Amino acid sequence: MTKRTTPILNRNDPEKEPLVGNVKVTREDWLNLARDILVHEGVAELKIMSLSDRLGVSRSSFYWYFRNRVDLLAALLTEWEARNTRTIVNYCALPAEDINAAVCNFFRCFIDPALFDRGLDFAVREWARRDVSLRSRMDAADSERLRSVTDMFERYGYPADEADVRARILYFMQLGYHALEVREPMELRMGRLAGFLKGFTGQVPRPELITEFNAFAHTVGNEP
């Protein structure tokens, strides 16, 4: 279960510009609260009246930013695709010295919570179980992510069929770790990094890569 923290409203965040006029909440506030409810309570609990009550504003504020509930849900899905799918695609395309360094770029997405929102990803998956059209969109996202991982292996000389298999092992293993809510100390997980990389790529990783990635993981402070 993703740890829940109450979203900070714009009006309570000293790092944000002060609101002016009669504005009490921003579009970002509505989206942040909606995302929090989606992740922790499910899409069925995303109701305009409930959102407005929690924000302490009238429903008219909602309609200033969104046409209706469907528009709000569409905005959440657009954010999900931009933050999660595009992040994986972009990080798999980053230049890297070798395939193990490229796989570490893939891992960065899941270690750094600023890059990939695990809670949002699995909330959307749960939502897609009950929504046929969204399931098609979820499947398309997985296909795009897998294609980016497969392309990554192919860039480093792996035959197409082998790249496809290795990509699936890597991607579905990573999702499985989160789905099972595996909880391991960072030190233990990083102690397995060299073995993981060799298993995924068939190549022994450079010691300096392990050292560099270990430092990154501990700095960010989230499990891969």
Tell me, rounded to whole angstroms, the distance of Cα 142 from its chain centroid. Answer: 12
pLDDT at 1 (0 to 100) = 46
N residues, the chain: 224
The full set of domains in the chain, from first to last, is: 10-66 (1.10.10.60), 77-220 (1.10.357)
pLDDT at 186 (0 to 100) = 79
Q: Which residues of the chain have pLDDT under 70?
A: 1-6, 8-23, 221-224
Contact of 154 with 163, CB cutoff 8 Å? yes
pLDDT at 180 (0 to 100) = 77
pLDDT at 179 (0 to 100) = 78
pLDDT at 4 (0 to 100) = 64
pLDDT at 70 (0 to 100) = 97
pTM metric for this prediction: 0.87
pLDDT at 181 (0 to 100) = 75
pLDDT at 187 (0 to 100) = 84
pLDDT at 224 (0 to 100) = 44
Q: Which residue from 111, 208, 103 is spatially nearest to 148, judged by alpha carbons?
A: 103
pLDDT at 17 (0 to 100) = 62
